[in-house]
């Protein structure tokens, strides 16, 4: 099968699309492998896998892969109908990143990925107790969770240790499966947006923004640039409080009580600012389909800037103190190291990938840099340990601060947002405004957003431009979770676990959906 780029033109019927985009499942897997795996260790992979999984399209489950070229931004879609016996070749044999999603697919649809290296149930974890992987003298199995100390989400971890040394860690998540993807089907766009906001509380903006982007693409509509600025602003506000929270957790895990308390205070001040601006501390309702949040930016600008400046001063002071505390640095350096070859093998995203030297950031790849007229400085570090994840988050905080100032400037000097109109006034189709996107099959859309933990991707199909027919969600943490277990058992001892846990700062709900 040739590498077919799908350019579904507007005047074709849906059936024509199907013809062109359908291929056998083996071809689809070969196509993903060909594009997403690096040829050798020195080369970068040619494309990012945005989504891989199944959709019930049009009625029976189909395999779907969505790829994007990170340089040109070209998005390519491909569907494949599985054979009647439901046996599809496994992508995970070539690429471990697909392991969890194939297990979920197998358990949900019955499609069996043939050759999957670790085909275990992943949903309904309460029914399947994990068995250990390590045998031998002195091996000790230690369960942790699903209910843990402090306010943490539900997740079960099976540690296999010899003394303090962790030999293997098996994370078992999916305790909070709500099946949001199915809930959204046949809902109106407005209702589905509410669902998207609730995928993961700390990534509300990322998920709702990705949903809106996908829905707008499916509707062949575009939104005014001012709305994009405002969405970007909310996204950075979300990143700020998330990074403050993650660093506070890290300080707490290392026993730095003052740093923890002060960074938690920074987070609280930001949450209150969010609450004052939008009425929701976690920014629910801030991203709307083709509409702004009705904030008069020129009136609130000085207040926002003073709160941000105070938060920035406190954050900078206490992260500097942490950086110069030998016990803190010693606790972090070399802890929970992520090996560089795991970045490609698992398609890592977000601060975890950037701490391994990979410059992956959807903000740099999408249209935001042209919109705001500047380039985002991508802070990366090379060692991939907890200290680098700390450093990357600190640097990203400063980048986000700069972005927010710039966006505030644009929003205040731009047109009055209340006069830009709702997007439904814009004519359709306007595919020419997306020159770098290959057009998706009719009715489909993809939204890509760099959330606080990395790339959030929503893939959806609209029916009659009103209802959701298909909805697939890939949160940032779902790429990183499989690596978490590897990083914990990478030469660490049990007391390192809280530090590693805090330095990853992953979301359970965003993975589980």
Q: Under the rule (CB under 8 A), what is the footprint of other proteins?
A: 140, 142-144, 148-150, 164, 252-258, 260-262, 265, 325-328, 330-331, 493-499
> Alpha helices, DSSP H only, in 254-282?
257-278
Least Å from the CB of residue 165 to other proteins = 11
Least Å from the CB of residue 170 to other proteins = 15
Q: At what angle do helices 386-413 and 225-253 cross, to 10 degrees?
A: 150
Q: Which long-range contacts (CB under 8 A, 24 or more apart) does 425-430 make?
A: 426/221, 426/222, 426/223, 428/219, 428/220, 428/221, 429/10, 429/220, 430/220, 430/221, 430/222
Q: Find where tokens 């040619």 sit.
A: 46
Least Å from the CB of residue 150 to other proteins = 5
Instruction: Pick the closer one to other proteins by CB: 386 or 457.
Output: 386
Least Å from the CB of residue 454 to other proteins = 25
Instruction: Pick the closer one to other proteins by CB: 142 or 466.
Output: 142
Instruction: Pick the closer one to other proteins by CB: 93 or 325.
Output: 325
Residue 132: DSSP 8-state = P
Least Å from the CB of residue 404 to other proteins = 25
Instruction: Pick the closer one to other proteins by CB: 133 or 329.
Output: 329
Instruction: Pick the closer one to other proteins by CB: 326 or 435.
Output: 326
Pseudo-torsion of CA 259, 455, 46, 365, nearest 10°?
-90
Instruction: Pick the closer one to other proteins by CB: 261 or 466.
Output: 261
Least Å from the CB of residue 266 to other proteins = 11
Among candidates 182, 154, 158, 506, which has minimal Cα distance to 348? 506
Least Å from the CB of residue 482 to other proteins = 20
Buried b (16+ CB within 10 A) or exposed e, 169-185: bbbbbbbebeebbebbb
CB 113 within 8 A of CB 119: yes
Instruction: Pick the closer one to other proteins by CB: 44 or 261.
Output: 261
Instruction: Pick the closer one to other proteins by CB: 322 or 480.
Output: 322
Instruction: Pick the closer one to other proteins by CB: 342 or 497.
Output: 497
Output phi, psi for 471, to 5 deg: -150, 125
Residue 421: DSSP 8-state = -
Instruction: Pick the closer one to other proteins by CB: 161 or 400.
Output: 161
Among candidates 354, 389, 338, which has minimal Cα distance to 505? 389
Instruction: Pick the closer one to other proteins by CB: 235 or 253.
Output: 253
Q: Which long-range contacts (CB under 8 A, 24 or more apart) does 358-366 make?
A: 360/48, 360/70, 360/454, 360/455, 361/450, 362/448, 362/449, 362/450, 362/455, 363/450, 365/68, 365/70, 365/73, 365/448, 366/73, 366/448, 366/450
Least Å from the CB of residue 270 to other proteins = 16
The helix/strand/coil state of 114 is strand
Least Å from the CB of residue 208 to other proteins = 32
Give CA–CA dist 472/51, Å, rounded: 8
Least Å from the CB of residue 251 to other proteins = 8
Output phi, psi for 495, to 5 deg: -70, -10
Among candidates 292, 288, 270, which has minimal Cα distance to 208? 288
Least Å from the CB of residue 494 to other proteins = 5
The helix/strand/coil state of 112 is strand
Least Å from the CB of residue 392 to other proteins = 20
CB 331 within 8 A of CB 269: no
Bridge partner residues of 142 (DSSP): 159
Bridge partner residues of 188 (DSSP): 467
Residue 202: DSSP 8-state = G
> Alpha helices, DSSP H only, in 77-166?
99-109
Instruction: Pick the closer one to other proteins by CB: 18 or 144.
Output: 144
Least Å from the CB of residue 241 to other proteins = 18
Instruction: Pick the closer one to other proteins by CB: 120 or 383.
Output: 383
Output phi, psi for 243, to 5 deg: -65, -40
């Amino acid at each position: 099968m040739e590498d077919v780029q799908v350019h579904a033109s507007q005047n074709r019927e849906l059936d024509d699309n199907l013809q062109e985009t359908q291929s056998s499942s083996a071809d689809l897997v070969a196509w993903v492998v060909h594009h997403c795996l690096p040829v050798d260790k020195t080369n970068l992979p040619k494309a990012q896998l945005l989504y891989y999984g199944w959709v019930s399209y049009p009625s029976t489950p189909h395999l779907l892969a969505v790829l994007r070229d990170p340089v040109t931004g070209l998005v390519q879609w491909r569907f494949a109908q599985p054979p009647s016996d439901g046996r599809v070749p496994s992508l995970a044999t070539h690429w471990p990143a697909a392991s969890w999603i194939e297990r979920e697919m197998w358990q949900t649809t019955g499609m069996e990925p043939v050759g999957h290296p670790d085909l275990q149930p992943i949903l309904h974890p309460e029914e399947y107790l994990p068995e250990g992987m390590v045998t031998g003298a002195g091996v000790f199995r230690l369960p942790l969770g699903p209910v843990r100390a402090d306010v943490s989400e539900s997740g079960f971890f099976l540690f296999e240790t010899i003394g303090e040394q962790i030999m293997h860690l098996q994370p078992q998540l999916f305790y909070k499966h709500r099946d949001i993807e199915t809930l959204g089907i046949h809902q109106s766009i407005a209702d589905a947006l509410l669902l998207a906001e609730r995928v993961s509380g700390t990534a509300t903006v990322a998920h709702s923004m990705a949903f809106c982007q996908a829905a707008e693409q499916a509707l062949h509509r575009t939104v005014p640039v001012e709305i994009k600025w405002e969405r970007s602003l909310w996204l950075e506000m979300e990143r700020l409080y998330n990074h403050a929270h993650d660093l506070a957790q890290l300080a707490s895990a290392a026993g730095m009580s003052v740093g923890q308390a002060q960074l938690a205070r920074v987070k609280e001040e930001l949450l209150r600012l969010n609450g004052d601006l939008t009425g929701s501390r976690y920014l629910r309702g801030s991203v709307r389909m083709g509409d702004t949040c009705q904030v008069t930016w020129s009136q609130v600008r000085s207040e926002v800037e003073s709160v941000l400046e105070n938060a920035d001063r406190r954050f900078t002071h206490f992260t500097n103190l942490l950086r110069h505390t030998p016990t803190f640095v010693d606790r972090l350096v070399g802890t929970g190291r992520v090996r560089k070859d795991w970045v490609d093998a698992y398609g890592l995203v977000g601060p975890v990938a950037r701490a391994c030297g990979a410059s992956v950031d959807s903000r740099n790849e999408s249209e935001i840099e042209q919109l705001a007229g500047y380039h985002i400085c991508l802070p990366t570090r090379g060692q991939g340990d907890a200290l680098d994840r700390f450093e990357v988050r600190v640097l990203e905080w400063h980048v986000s601060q700069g972005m927010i100032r710039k966006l505030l400037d644009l929003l205040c000097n731009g047109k009055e947002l209340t006069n830009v109109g709702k997007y439904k006034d814009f004519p359709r189709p306007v595919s020419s405004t997306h020159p770098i996107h290959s057009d998706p099959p009719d009715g489909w859309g993809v939204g890509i957003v760099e959330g606080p933990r990395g790339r959030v991707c929503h893939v959806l199909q609209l029916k009659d431009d009103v209802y959701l027919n298909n909805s697939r969600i890939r949160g940032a943490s779902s790429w990183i979770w499989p690596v978490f277990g590897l990083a914990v058992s990478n030469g660490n001892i049990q007391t390192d676990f809280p530090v590693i846990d805090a330095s990853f700062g992953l979301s359970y709900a965003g993975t589980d959906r």
